Amino acid sequence: METVIDLAEILHRYAVLLARLSARAYPLAVSVKIDTPDPSRVDAQDGKTIKQCGLIITEKDSWNGDLTAIVRVRDLGLDEDHTRPLSPLLDSSSDVVDLLGDAVVMSHLADFEEFSTHIAPLAWERACTSYIHRHYGLAWVSSDEGELPGLEFQFHASVVFKAVNVKLKRAAEDGAKG
117 membership: H or E segment, kind and range: none
Number of domains making up the chain: 1
CA angle 65, 36, 150 (to 5 degrees): 50
What is the pLDDT at residue 143? Answer: 67
Measured distance CA(30)–CA(47) in Å, rounded? 10
What is the pLDDT at residue 40? Answer: 80
- In the 8-state DSSP scheme, what is residue 113? H
In a domain, 22, yes or no: no
pLDDT digits 0-9 by tens, 155-176: 999 999 999 999 999 989 888 8
In a domain, 53, yes or no: yes
Q: What does R_g of the chain's alpha carbons equal in angstroms?
A: 18
Which residue in 19, 7, 150 sits closest to 85, CA to CA? 7
Which residue in 127, 149, 128 sits closest to 138, CA to CA? 149
In a domain, 7, yes or no: no
User: What is the SS3 assignment for 138?
Assistant: strand
In a domain, 9, yes or no: no
Which residue in 136, 133, 138, 120 sits closest to 165, CA to CA? 133
In a domain, 23, yes or no: no
CA angle 107, 117, 71 (to 5 degrees): 35
Pair 67, 30: CB distance under 8 Å: yes
Residue spans of the chain under pLDDT 50 = 1
Measured distance CA(136)–CA(100) in Å, rounded? 9
Range of the domain at 103: 28-177
In a domain, 10, yes or no: no
In a domain, 92, yes or no: yes
Measured distance CA(46)–CA(11) in Å, rounded? 37
Q: Sheet harboring 150-156: ordered strands across?
A: 29-31, 66-72, 150-156, 137-141
In a domain, 124, yes or no: yes
